[in-house]
Amino acid sequence: MKSPGQLKRLPQHVAIIMDGNGRWARQHGLPRLVGHKQGATTAQHVVEVFVEYKIPYLTLYAFSTENWNRPQREVRGLFRLLEERLDEGISLAQKEGIRIHHLGKLNGLSPKIQDAIRRALELTQDNTRMTLGLAFNYGGRDEIVEATRRLILKGIPAQDIDETVVGQYLYTAGIPDPDLIIRTGGEMRLSNFLTWQSAYAEIYFTPVLWPDFDKKEIDKALTIFSQRQRRFGSLAPE
């Protein structure tokens, strides 16, 4: 396998559905929350690898608007985990020059989590080496509904609305669409992740459970991406 430096094409924006923490925990005879903790550690390692590979945009799906339907204990555990890991995340971001970006609704999260997320955004806003999107309390359909509401509230005339304008009202305003979406854990669906932005993304599914997703698995995904032919609805060159 070629190293990413030798690949002819690397994605600019990779987005990841980090699935399989629960099954990883079960396989190891551990509580689900330990799986999420291991998953958070994996997320840190994965960020470091993408920084090393000079991929400028990485977006991680950490908590969806549907994850509220999980048992309260698990939801609270995920919130606590975010709180606990965000400070480490900010230190890593400052060390590596990463700007942290939030995708999702702050509304509905506890004031403590809201403050922690706002602090992360503020402290890292001038970093330019990578933009790390944290999708937390995020839903793709919800994002489109929110964008529509804001377009209407702003009084944008119907004839002025096109795809570029809608894009400016999404959580990803100013961020290019993902070139590659990776889902670990074996399920083959997008689960309300980047519904608008995924229109022409290449999708890579792997059965590897998120806590086991490592540099070797990243290299595999990037190699497969580099072999895909992207046509964006057009024809392949003769």
Q: Which residue numbers are catalytic?
A: 19, 67
* Residues in region 63-122 near ligand FPP by CB under 6 A: 67, 78, 81-82, 85
70 SS3 class: coil
19 binds ligand FPP (CB under 6 A): yes
Residue 178 interacting with ligand FPP (CB under 6 A): no
State yes or no: residue 40 binds ligand FPP (CB under 6 A): yes
Between residues 3 and 27, which has the closer beta carbon with respect to ligand FPP?
27
Piece in contact with ligand FPP (CB under 6 A), picked from 21-29, 97-105, 192-200, 212-220: 21-29
Residue 132 near ligand FPP by CB under 6 A: no
Q: Does 21 bind ligand FPP (CB under 6 A)?
A: yes
Figure out which of the listed residues 185, 194, 204, 213 binds ligand FPP, where binding follows CB under 6 A.
Answer: 185
62 in Cβ contact with 83 (< 8 Å): no
Structure tokens at 113: 């989590």
User: Angle of helix 72-96 relative to helix 32-52, nearest 10 degrees?
Assistant: 20
Q: Does 183 bind ligand FPP (CB under 6 A)?
A: no
How far does the chain reach from its first CA to its final CA, in angstroms? 28
HSE-up (13 A, CA, CB side) for residue 161: 13
Q: How far apart are CA 74 and CA 68, in angstroms?
A: 9
Of 55 and 116, which has the nearer Cβ to ligand FPP?
Answer: 116
Pair type for strands 98-103 and 130-138: parallel
* Closest to 209 (Cα-Cα) out of 52, 44, 20: 20
- Would you say 13 or 183 has its CB closer to ligand FPP? 183
Residues in the site for ligand FPP, rule: CB under 6 A? Answer: 18-23, 36, 39-40, 43, 62, 67, 78, 81-82, 85, 185, 210
